[in-house]
Amino acid sequence: MRASTSPGPRRGYTLLEILVVVALIAILAAVATPSIEGMYSHVRMTASIDQVRAQWAEARAHAIDQGVPYKFGVMMGQNKFRVAPDLAEFWSGGDSSGGQLEEGTAYVHEDELQKGVQFTNASGGSSGDWQPVAIFMPNGECKEDAELTLGGQGNRPQLLKIRGLTGVVTIQALAVGSH
């Protein structure tokens, strides 16, 4: 009898099999990426809201602590915001001599919202200029009730309101296109 000449077990994959698997992985990644981005856009909006609320609390605390009004300003149509004393030297590049604060004691914080989230407003406001939103007084009050709208691709616009007398912040989801 003649011995069987079967090749035995396969020891690897062909180049064609590897290319098919890589192509399937690439297709799945391309399909999943927009879903993942959409999922994270909500997280970025929530984080941006938390950033604004935290900076409002910081501005209020520093106004009380230092006895000087603090302003929260934004650049409309962008994602930049700033907290600093409500003095010309911090907002208009004015002369810093004769200020009400000792040198180095002012809290000045500039930052940006999360990627894809920006400040929007129906009234517009020129892009590139600091637009005051809220001024926190040394007695702990906000000078007046204030509103701010955050928008971002894939999210409903969010309206943040701060109550002047109490400092309570409320958040309201707006209908798309209402800002």
Pairwise pLDDT comparison (125 vs 15), residue with the higher score: 15
Does 1 have pLDDT greater than 90?
A: no
What CATH number has the domain bearing residue 39? 3.55.40.10
Number of domains composing the chain: 1
Q: How far is CA 69 from CA 58, 144, 161, in A?
A: 12, 13, 19
pLDDT tens for 19-52 read: 999 999 999 988 887 777 777 888 899 999 999 9
Domain encompassing residue 35: 15-173
Position 110 in a domain:
yes
Position 156 in a domain:
yes
Position 6 in a domain:
no
Predicted model pTM: 0.73
Pair of tokens at residue 76: 């409309």
Check residue 97 and give its pLDDT: 45
Q: How confident is the model at residue 127 (pLDDT cuts 50, 70, 90)?
A: low
